[in-house]
Copies of this chain bind each other. A is one copy, B any other.
């Protein structure tokens, strides 16, 4: 975070301002100090971590002062994988994106403009950092707790973990996304009904061993709801269709 006086000088001198400060509140304070100038003709890029409400509120504030707003979320590969590069998801003013894209693109290996809603980068975080990554991590930790309890060694399970990760990548990128995008949930592989039967057995193994199995129970529930809705003979990706409240 740069000092406030410097930030004000930088902003009044620049047409593109990338704010990478502590949080959205701090970003707003920095912009508040630019009192003598409006933000007309200027593009503000907010690269803080926050909620969709934070992003929308800052966008409205910038718009109210005549500026254009882009929200940005940095999604970085593990620091220890030196050969891979980061991703930045952008959302907000399309004209600003078109004007500044050439300057913003090199900031990361991959830059994606998700759409004109400045909340989209925060939504993407909730979906993939939260709903997918954090749930998958929690599932692994439940699995590991069960595994060591019944006498398995995690070192011995490493090859199986690699198989499961490879399967997951194949399912998500090559099957789940195309099924959802096309609306075609037919399959000649394992159906919702087949997974439901297996998950019932697997969950019983966990419960019988004395595990809480909270995620596995929620997973069973999702499969039951999908089957009850008539998708027993569909691909497991049909859970997508029954995830709404």
Contact = CB atoms under 8 A, between A and B. Distances in A.
A137 B216 CA distance: 12
Interface string A231-245: 000001101110111
A161 B206 contact: no
Contacts of A156: 112-115
B180 A173 contact: no
Best-surrounded residue of A119, A131, A217, A221 (most CB of chain B within 10 A)? A131
Could you say how many copies of this chain the assembly holds? 2
Contacts of A135: 135-136, 138-139, 142-143, 215-216, 219
Interface string A75-118: 11110110010110100000000000000000000101111010
A153 B128 CA distance: 13
A221 B210 contact: no
Given A131-B142, A180-B144, A125 B172 contact: no
23 contacts: A52-B205, A78-B167, A84-B166, A112-B159, A114-B152, A114-B153, A115-B151, A115-B156, A117-B150, A123-B152, A124-B160, A127-B144, A127-B146, A128-B161, A132-B136, A136-B140, A138-B239, A141-B239, A154-B181, A155-B177, A158-B177, A215-B218, A218-B218
Interface of A: 51-52, 75-78, 80-81, 84, 86-87, 89, 110, 112-115, 117, 119-120, 122-174, 176-177, 180-181, 195, 198-199, 201-207, 210-219, 221-223, 225, 236-237, 239-241, 243-245
Given A122-B205, A132-B139, 10 more contacts: A76-B163, A114-B153, A123-B150, A124-B152, A126-B201, A131-B146, A131-B202, A142-B222, A144-B180, A212-B245
